[in-house]
């Protein structure tokens, strides 16, 4: 068995070397990020020490955690009267049009995570049972995702379901008889949609999908899927966030046919000047989609840290510059004419807490623009696709 794992690791290293050469900003830091020999549970986005920190703060009435907790409980996601709305087939077209179960699925997943957090903090078993009710309803029903947004929809919901499942399975002593059926749902309905990434799409797709694949792999204790997800992720990040140390242009997106500068500029939404650390492939599309990429990079790194293979040291420069670059314009800085024709579409959203906490609280880096953007917006709630309650879980969390 160990021999097979070594062979798999070697194959992943070879794949990374041929499809995603190290950018200059990552020089000397790239290496296989294999799954741990033993997975840590709960270990998707939040771990036991982080949850214990939050519980202590809420019980003490400390801010911003108390306000964030009250915001969460007061939301529609936190209602104990919530009724799940599962579908056998969730059909999601571009922009979730048509929306045949797309919003219901995402919102029920966030609600399950909401009640899992509420259970852990309050120890009110009604919240654990509500989370189980939501997860059981979907695992008993859903069979497939269809239409053009099926991979992205699977990434959004598939990144959130395991967060809830990890907390309930590993902290609730009331039992979850259908946990095996839920795991089968993740394995058969979600993982096949996300595990291979989306090479030709805008980069936020692949980052969200690899976040989901990593999270699912942890819950399933599937080391091969974990390794594959992280290998795809590590190839995508240098092609999504640019550093001037990369050279005169960003890396070409891996596993695509894009191999000329003109094609690259078109892929970067007609941005031809590469003059700023932290510029993202979707900056000139809009900050909303870029925010998805920012959040998923931080989420994958956070989860990897919980699993004992910390990606932050080699991602920190790209992530801190991406955060600083975009929050600077969110905070009101003038946009130069060489950037997106002098106009950007702002709306980054509540996407900064996890990365800001990792880089500032734990690693001690100074991120003035990100601080100016993040701290006055607390408590940050949900973004309605897959980001939820990150002031509560990650603000000033040293664990």
Alpha helices in the chain (DSSP H): 2-19, 48-59, 65-73, 102-122, 125-139, 150-171, 179-185, 191-194, 203-220, 223-236, 261-267, 287-306, 312-330, 353-356, 368-374, 390-394
152, 208 Cβ separation under 8 angstroms? yes
CA dist., res. 202 & res. 193, Å (int): 16
Q: Please give the angle made by the CA atoms of 183, 4 and 233, to the nearest 5 degrees.
A: 60
CA dist., res. 102 & res. 87, Å (int): 9
214, 230 Cβ separation under 8 angstroms? yes
Which residues, in sequence order, are bridge partners of residue 89?
144
Of the candidates 247, 352, 253, 243, the residue with the CA atom closest to the CA atom of residue 297: 352
CA dist., res. 288 & res. 72, Å (int): 22
Sign of CA dihedral 297, 298, 300, 301: positive
Of the candidates 7, 33, 9, the residue with the CA atom closest to the CA atom of residue 308: 33
Q: Please tell me the predicted confidence (pLDDT) of residue 34.
A: 79
8-state DSSP, 250: P
The residues spanned by each domain of the chain are 33-394
Tell whether omega for the bond before 41 is within 30 degrees of 0, i.e. cis: no
CATH topology of domain 33-394: Glycosyltransferase (1.50.10)
Sign of CA dihedral 291, 295, 300, 302: positive
**Residue 282, number of CB atoms within 10 A of its CB:** 22
167, 117 Cβ separation under 8 angstroms? yes
CA dist., res. 375 & res. 113, Å (int): 23
CA dist., res. 74 & res. 302, Å (int): 27
Burial of 93 (0-12, 13-18, 19+ CB in 10 A): middle
Of the candidates 121, 114, 30, 23, the residue with the CA atom closest to the CA atom of residue 74: 114
Mean pLDDT for each consecutive 10-residue tract of the chain (399 residues)? 37 37 46 80 98 98 98 98 98 96 98 98 98 98 98 98 98 97 98 97 98 98 97 97 98 96 98 98 98 98 96 97 98 98 98 98 98 98 96 97
Q: How would you label 228-248 residue by residue, b for 16+ Cβ within 10 Å and e otherwise?
A: bbbbbbbbbbbbbbbbeebee
Q: How would you label 190-209 residue by residue, b for 16+ Cβ within 10 Å and e otherwise?
A: bbebbbbbbbeebbbbbbbb
CA dist., res. 35 & res. 311, Å (int): 12
Residue 315 has φ and ψ, to the nearest 5°, of: -100, -10
CA dist., res. 320 & res. 102, Å (int): 32
Torsion of CA 252, 258, 261, 264, to 10 degrees: -70
Of the candidates 71, 46, 66, the residue with the CA atom closest to the CA atom of residue 55: 66
Q: Please tell me the predicted confidence (pLDDT) of residue 88.
A: 98
Q: Which two tokens stand for residue 281?
A: 């492939």
């Amino acid at each position: 068995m160990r021999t097979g794992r070594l062979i798999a690791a070697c194959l992943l290293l070879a794949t990374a070397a041929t499809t995603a050469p190290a950018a200059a900003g990552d020089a000397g830091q790239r290496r296989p990020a294999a799954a741990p020999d033993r997975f840590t549970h709960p270990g998707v986005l939040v771990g036991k020490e982080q949850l214990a920190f939050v519980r202590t703060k809420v019980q003490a009435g400390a801010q911003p955690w108390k306000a964030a907790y009250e915001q969460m409980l007061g939301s529609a996601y936190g209602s104990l009267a919530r009724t799940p709305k599962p579908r056998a087939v969730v059909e999601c077209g571009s922009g979730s049009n048509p929306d045949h179960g797309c919003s219901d699925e995402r919102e029920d997943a966030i609600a399950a995570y909401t009640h899992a957090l509420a259970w852990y903090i309050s120890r009110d078993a009604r919240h654990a049972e509500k989370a189980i009710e939501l997860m059981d309803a979907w695992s008993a029903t859903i069979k497939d995702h269809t239409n053009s947004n099926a991979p992205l929809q699977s990434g959004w919901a598939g990144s959130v379901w395991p967060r809830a499942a990890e907390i309930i399975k590993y902290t609730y002593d009331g039992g979850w008889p259908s946990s095996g059926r839920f795991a089968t749902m993740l394995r058969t309905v979600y993982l096949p949609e996300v595990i291979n990434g989306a090479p030709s799409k805008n980069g936020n797709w692949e980052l969200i999908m690899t976040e989901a694949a990593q999270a699912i792999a942890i819950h399933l204790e599937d080391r091969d899927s974990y390794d594959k997800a992280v290998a795809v992720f590590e190839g995508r990040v240098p092609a999504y966030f640019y550093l001037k140390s990369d050279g005169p242009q960003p890396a070409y997106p891996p596993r695509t046919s894009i191999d000329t500068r003109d094609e690259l500029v078109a892929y970067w939404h007609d941005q031809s000047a590469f003059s700023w650390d932290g510029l993202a492939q979707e900056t000139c599309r809009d900050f909303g989609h870029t925010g998805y990429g920012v959040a998923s990079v931080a989420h994958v790194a956070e989860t990897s840290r919980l699993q004992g293979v910390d990606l932050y040291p080699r991602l920190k420069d790209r992530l801190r510059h991406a955060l600083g670059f975009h929050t600077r314009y969110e905070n009101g800085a003038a946009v130069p004419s060489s950037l997106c024709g002098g106009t950007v579409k702002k709306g980054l959203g509540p996407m900064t807490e996890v990365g800001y906490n990792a880089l500032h609280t734990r690693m001690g880096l100074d991120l003035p623009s990100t601080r100016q953007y993040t701290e006055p917006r607390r408590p940050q709630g949900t973004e309605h696709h897959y980001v939820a309650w990150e002031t509560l879980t990650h603000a000033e969390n040293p664990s």
